[in-house]
Amino acid sequence: MTSEEKYRVAVIGGTGPQGKGLGYRFARGGHDVVLGSRAAEKAEGIAAEVRDHLGGTTGAGPVGSVSGASNADAVAQCDVVLLAVPYDGHDELVASLPLAGKTVISCVNPLAFDKRGAHGRVINGGEGSAAESAQELAPEATVVGAFHNVSAVGLWEEPGFLDEDVIVVGDVVGAKQVAMALAASVTGRVGIDGGKLRLARQLEPFTAVLISINRKYKVHSGLRITGLGEPH
Amino acid sequence: MTSEEKYRVAVIGGTGPQGKGLGYRFARGGHDVVLGSRAAEKAEGIAAEVRDHLGGTTGAGPVGSVSGASNADAVAQCDVVLLAVPYDGHDELVASLPLAGKTVISCVNPLAFDKRGAHGRVINGGEGSAAESAQELAPEATVVGAFHNVSAVGLWEEPGFLDEDVIVVGDVVGAKQVAMALAASVTGRVGIDGGKLRLARQLEPFTAVLISINRKYKVHSGLRITGLGEPH
């Protein structure tokens, strides 16, 4: 099941593995993608790499365009913005972007690593998340959380759709529906409405569990929600 | 895949839906179960109900025994203890039980509910979980976290194995292996080693996301880990 509507998506952090991989999948699903980076030239180089990678795909329809720009220029060109940046520096970057009026999708995972492995970072005394921070820093944007748990390796290397689900959380249904539709480019199914934005507190650090499983079992694990039937 | 080893499991909170449902599944998997409650008579009544329910099953082998006892007596009779109690009152109850030397499995979900739905409660400023609290309160026990996300309705009503995964976290491999083996009674597969005990901070409140999905889609959702192959 794919959505008919095509979006133009700015990917902030588009030169990192998660941003590059999601941008690749969105373009493969027919959406236009503008990869953003601090340096426009670097974004343009990665965009060329994504276009090359798309050249080898046999999608159901035409692929979308992929270009590169500075982060601010990428946002200015798009109605939908994916935040795919590391949590370090996240707040300053979000505050610097012209996000008013945009649908903003955060896949940011605030994780910490030590000798015992990955674990969630505590945001706002346990009552916050990267997605909620973005909403506070960009109050005129509409922020949703999604795509937290998809593996960058799978996005780039797996030839077909990923065998997992994208859970979307947010307080505005229309904005959630954008992320749910984009999810079909990744999994072949619309995303799952997981509830309110504050549940990003649960989705973001769950990635630490998947990282732990990956290390233990030498796999690229994903998350699937059972019991919904097909198609949900 | 089922484990050969059979355990004797005390289910604290064995008269609640989660404890009753897990006790039913463990007995169906051939393990002996002692349901615990504050009042032994109440536990004995629920044990009779579970035995009746088991009478209708056609398992691969003989089912285990099911009896009822006071919480403390149930613990005294068993090497493995499942904590299936509400979070309210959890700490006082755990501190009161003779848990030294036991393998303790916590499926306790510290959740809160308001008009926006379910969400995770903040334990120890975001750096704690019910399972970690239990370990602190019973330092001579070995605590693991597991079975957080399985639906009580599915445990009791679904005729076959549940189409989901049990993720087990803990700091002692041998104790995790007990919970992983017991998981086969629920899902037909051993549980998944999800890492260290502190990751219970992620597993416990994830149940709020599943509750949110259940309300939205009118389903009993579960969690499955993809990418592990079969059998994992």
Quick one: average pLDDT of B19-33?
A: 97
A2-6, B22-26, B157-161, B181-185: which has the minimum mean pLDDT?
A2-6
Q: Which residue of B has its CA nearest to A212?
A: B195
Determine, yes or no, domain membership for A226: no
Cα torsion angle, B186, B190, B191, B197, sign: positive
Residue ranges of A 33-92 with Cβ closer than 8 A to chain B = none
Reduced to 3 states (helix: H, G, I; strand: E, B; else coil), residue B6 is: coil
Quick one: average pLDDT of A38-58?
A: 91
CA distance A116 to chain B (A): 7
Q: How confident is the model at residue B58 (pLDDT cuts 50, 70, 90)?
A: low
Residue ranges of B 148-167 with Cβ closer than 8 A to chain A = 151, 154, 163-164, 167
Q: Which residue of A has its CA nearest to B227?
A: A221
Determine, yes or no, domain membership for B225: no
Q: Do B119 and A229 touch (CB under 8 A)?
A: no
Q: How confident is the model at residue A58 (pLDDT cuts 50, 70, 90)?
A: low
Determine, yes or no, domain membership for A2: no
- The proportion of chain A whose per-residue pLDDT surpasses 70, expressed as a percent, equals 95
Residues of B in contact with A212 (CB under 8 A): 194-196, 199
CA distance B145 to chain A (A): 13
pLDDT of residue B1: 42
- What stretch of H or E contains A22? helix A17-28
Residues of A in contact with B125 (CB under 8 A): 122, 125-126
Determine, yes or no, domain membership for A18: yes
Determine, yes or no, domain membership for B2: no
- CATH of residue A159's domain is 3.40.50.720
Determine, yes or no, domain membership for B201: yes
- The proportion of chain B whose per-residue pLDDT surpasses 90, expressed as a percent, equals 92
Residue B209: which of A126, A151, A195 has the nearest Cβ? A195
Cα torsion angle, B157, B163, B168, B174, sign: positive
Q: Do A227 and B116 touch (CB under 8 A)?
A: no
pLDDT of residue B89: 95
B81-124 residue pLDDT tens = 999 999 999 999 999 999 999 999 999 999 999 999 999 999 99
pLDDT of residue A4: 74
Quick one: average pLDDT of B130-136?
A: 98
> What is the spatial distance between Cα B195 and Cα A210, in angstroms, rounded to a whole number?
9
Quick one: average pLDDT of A58-75?
A: 89
Rounded-to-10 torsion of CA B63, B68, B72, B78: -10
Q: How confident is the model at residue A165 (pLDDT cuts 50, 70, 90)?
A: very high
CA-nearest of A134, A152, A158 to A144 is: A134
- Domain boundaries, position B208: 8-217
Q: Could you tell me whether strands B8-12 and B167-170 are parallel, antiparallel, or unpaired per DSSP bridges?
A: unpaired
Determine, yes or no, domain membership for B232: no
pLDDT of residue A2: 46
Number of domains in chain B: 1
pLDDT exceeds cutoff 80 at A61:
no
pLDDT exceeds cutoff 70 at B230:
no
Q: Do B219 and A203 touch (CB under 8 A)?
A: no
Could you tell me how many residues make up chain B? 232
Q: Which residue of B has its CA nearest to A217?
A: B228
Determine, yes or no, domain membership for B74: yes
pLDDT of residue A220: 93
Q: Which residue of A has its CA nearest to B119?
A: A199
> What is the spatial distance between Cα B228 and Cα A218, in angstroms, rounded to a whole number?
9
Cα torsion angle, A226, A229, B3, B6, sign: positive
A207 vs A232, more confident? A207
**A113 near B CB under 8 A:** no
Residue B221: which of A120, A196, A228 has the nearest Cβ? A228
CB B180 within 8 A of CB B191: yes
Bond preceding residue B231 cis, omega within 30 of 0: yes
Residue ranges of A 119-138 with Cβ closer than 8 A to chain B = 119-120, 122-123, 125-127
pLDDT of residue B38: 95
For B224, the token pair is 């499955």
pLDDT of residue B190: 97
CB B36 within 8 A of CB B43: yes
Substitution target from A157, A172, A225, A232 for chain B, most B beta carbons within 10 A: A225
